[in-house]
Amino acid sequence: MTFYVVGNSVSKIFRLIILLTAILSLSACSGFNLFGPPKIKEEVIIPPETLYQSALDDMDRQYYQTALKTLEKLERQHPFSDYSEKSKLMTVYANFRMGKYPEAIMAADRYLALYPSSKEVPYILYLKGTSYYAQIKDITRDQQLSQDAIDTLQLLVNTYPNSKYTDDARESLRTAYDQIAGKEMSVGRYYLGNGQYSAAINRFRTVVQKHQTSTHIEEALFRLVESYLALGLVNEARTSAAVLGHNYASSTWYQSAYSLLQKQGLTPEFVNKDLFESDVNG
C-alpha cells in the first residue's frame, strides 16, 4: 500500500512539472510574462526622410491607404521634423484621392491652422474647396455643401488670384453657384404653383440679384413677370420683362414674357427703374 501511494504522488508531481514546462514554453513564444506585466514591443524608429519617401512611392502606386499609415507613423515618430509639414499636406492629398472628402477637409483645416503662411495654402484651399464640391447633391437636397465650396473657392480666388489653381476654382464656382440658383428656382416654382406669389418673387429675385452668371437667370426673370402679373403689379412685371429683353433679347424666355404681357395689352418697359437697377448689364 505504501508503494502505491508514493508511486501515485511521484506520478502527480511529474505531470505537474510537465504542465508548468508547457505553460512557460507557451508564454515565452507568445511574449506573455507569467510573473509580470506583458512585454511591449518597442516600435522601430525609422528616419523621417525614409518614411516620407516610402509614402510617396505608395502614392505613385495608388496605395493611398498604405501611404496614410506611413504618414501617420512619420508624424508620430517625428512630430517636429522638417517632414512634418509635408506629411500633413500629403495627408490632405491622399484622403482627397481616395474620395474620403470629409477626412480631406479636416486634414486641410488642420494644415491651415498650423501653417497659415505656407506657400502651399492655395493648394490646400483648392483641395478643400474641391472636396466640398465633389460632395454636392442635386438641387432637391440641402445646398450647404455648395455654399461651403463657394466660400472656400472664392477665398482662393480672392486671396490668390494668380495661383495656378484659380482657373479651375472659377470653373467649380460657376457650377456651385448654378447649383444654389437651381435650388432657389425649384423652391420658387413650388411657391408659384401654390399661389404663394410673394414668396416665389423673393426666390426668383435672389437668383437675379446674386446669381447673374447662372443658367437660371433667364427663367428667373420670366417667372418674375408671371408672379408680378398674378399679384397685379403691372409696372414690376413690365420692368422684369424689359430687363430680360435688354440682356437676353433672343431668349425664348423673353419671347414668352413678351407674349404674356401682350395678352394683357402691355409691353416690356423700364417703368420701375429702381427695381432692377443693379441687375441690368451694360
Q: What is the pLDDT of residues 133-190, one digit of tens each?
A: 999 876 666 678 889 999 999 999 999 999 999 999 999 999 898 988 998 999 999 9
**92-96 contacts: CB < 8 A, separation 24 or more?**
92/124, 92/127, 92/128, 93/59, 93/127, 94/55, 94/59, 94/64, 94/67, 94/68, 95/64, 95/68, 96/127, 96/130, 96/131
Amino acid sitting at position 75: E
pLDDT of residue 24: 54
Looking at residues 23-42, what average pLDDT do you find? 56
pLDDT of residue 36: 54
Give helix then strand counts, H and E, for the chain. Answer: 12, 0
pTM (predicted TM-score)? 0.71
- Alpha-carbon distance of 81 to 31, in angstroms, equals 33
- Alpha-carbon distance of 120 to 128, in angstroms, equals 12
Q: Indicate the DSSP class of residue 160.
A: -
List, in order of start, the domains of the chain with CATH numbers.
48-178 (1.25.40.10), 195-262 (no CATH)
Beta-carbon contacts of residue 9 (< 8 Å; ≥ 6 apart): none
- Alpha-carbon distance of 59 to 50, in angstroms, equals 14
Exposed, middle or buried by CB within 10 Å (0-12, 13-18, 19+), for 195?
A: exposed
Q: What is the pLDDT of residues 227-236, one digit of tens each?
A: 999 999 999 9
